[in-house]
Amino acid sequence: MTVNDKAIERKRYDAFASQIDKNFEFDSLAEYLKDPYLFYMSCIELRAQADYKILELGSGTGNFTEVLLRTSAAVVASDISARSLEVLASLHNSENLTCLVMDMEELNKDEEFDIIVSAGSLSYGDNAIVLNNIYQALKPGGFFICVDSLNNNWIYRLNRFFHYLTGRRSLSTLRRMPSTRLFEIYNKKFEEVTVTYFGSLVWLAPVLKLFLRETPVSNTLKWFDTLINVKYSAFKFVMVARKNA
């Protein structure tokens, strides 16, 4: 990401953080959008332990920080936006929480964390730099767990380009949106990588909602993902990568 784009993103998220006075309401999400995040949270809860140290990259105002704190692990929430971290700290009063203003490209830790997590932040850093930083910062046998958007489906790519044109995204985030090629790089670096895909037809949900209730819409979309063994056309993915022990 260029210096200008980083400044744009920092300013955008500082402004956003200043407009909110409460944490993200997960329950307000449409049912058909929840599955990747529910799976992401379950992947964390399955692996985290109370004596672990967890780093959250791009934590923002703490949409998923509560999940980390529930594990009783020591949590370091990091973000490029200082204002976002101020809001996060005010929403999550815990002695297990440390907030760190940091660009993920500048993560410089040596085998310090048992788990590193990211929810929707991979496109805000150079993929190669961030991957190597994550690998170096993980303890042997440690896990990187992330949920993010996939950039293979042209419908979702057009939608993101529209967000760029309307000032809700920077150009660098479009260029660095994760694709299946990125998973190949993670596979070469990490000992074990599993990727789960979600939401091939999420773009169709608003139309289906004209005829069906939300739960049938969600079930229909999940059925279609299973039918086609969704991968390249997915909207979201969850990746779990384990470092060599």
Predicted pLDDT at 19: 67
**Residue 242 Cα distances to 4, 25, 146, 191, angstroms:** 34, 30, 12, 6
User: Sign of torsion, CA 130 136 141 142?
Assistant: negative
Predicted pLDDT at 4: 63
Q: Is there a contact between 85 and 60 (Cβ–Cβ < 8 Å)?
A: no
Predicted pLDDT at 169: 84
Crossing angle of helices 127-137 and 180-189, rounded to 10°? 30
Predicted pLDDT at 11: 75
Could you give the angle at the alpha carbon of 122 between the alpha carbons of 2 and 129, nearest 5°?
Answer: 60
97-101/236-242 β-pairing? unpaired
CATH class for the domain made up of 3-201+231-242: alpha beta
Predicted pLDDT at 245: 87
Q: Is residue 167 classed exposed, middle or buried when 0-12, 13-18 and 19+ CB atoms within 10 A define those classes?
A: exposed
Helix spans in the chain (H): 3-18, 31-47, 65-69, 82-91, 127-137, 154-165, 171-175, 180-189, 205-208, 214-228
Tens place of pLDDT per residue across the chain (245 aa): 454 677 777 777 777 666 665 555 667 788 999 999 999 999 999 999 999 999 999 999 888 999 999 999 999 999 999 999 999 999 888 999 999 999 999 999 999 999 999 999 999 999 999 999 999 999 999 999 999 999 999 999 999 999 989 988 888 999 999 999 999 999 999 999 999 999 999 999 999 999 999 999 999 999 999 999 999 999 999 999 999 98
Predicted pLDDT at 127: 93
* Bridge partners, 241 (sequence order): 144, 193
